Amino acid sequence: MEKIKECPFCGSNEAPRIVFDYQNGIEDADGQCCICCDCTTGGCGGSGAYEMAESEAIKKWNTRKED
C-alpha cells in the first residue's frame, strides 16, 4: 500500500490517517473511507475525498498540484 503523504493543508507528517465511515457515525456511506489530518493528534482536521477503496483514498490524498 502506498505511504500516506504529509497533510497538504498544515504539513503534518504524523496526523494524516485513514478514517472509515463507521468511525465518524456516517451510516449511509456504504463502507467508504478517507484520509483525515487528525486534530486529536496535532493535525488541522483537513480531509480528502471518500472512496470505496483505501488505495484510492490514499491516491487522491497524495495527489498534489505540483505533481
pLDDT one-digit tens code per residue, 5-39: 999 999 999 989 988 765 555 555 566 889 999 99
Predicted TM-score (pTM) above 0.85: no
Who's near 32: CB < 8 A, 6+ residues apart?
Answer: 20, 21, 50, 51, 52
Q: Is residue 5 part of a domain?
A: no
Phi, psi of 47 (to 5 degrees): -140, 160
Q: Is residue 47 part of a domain?
A: yes
Give the confidence band of 67 by pLDDT, cuts at 50, 70, 90: low
The pLDDT value given to residue 11? 95
Number of domains in the chain: 1
- Which domain covers residue 40, as residue numbers? 16-62
Q: Is residue 23 part of a domain?
A: yes
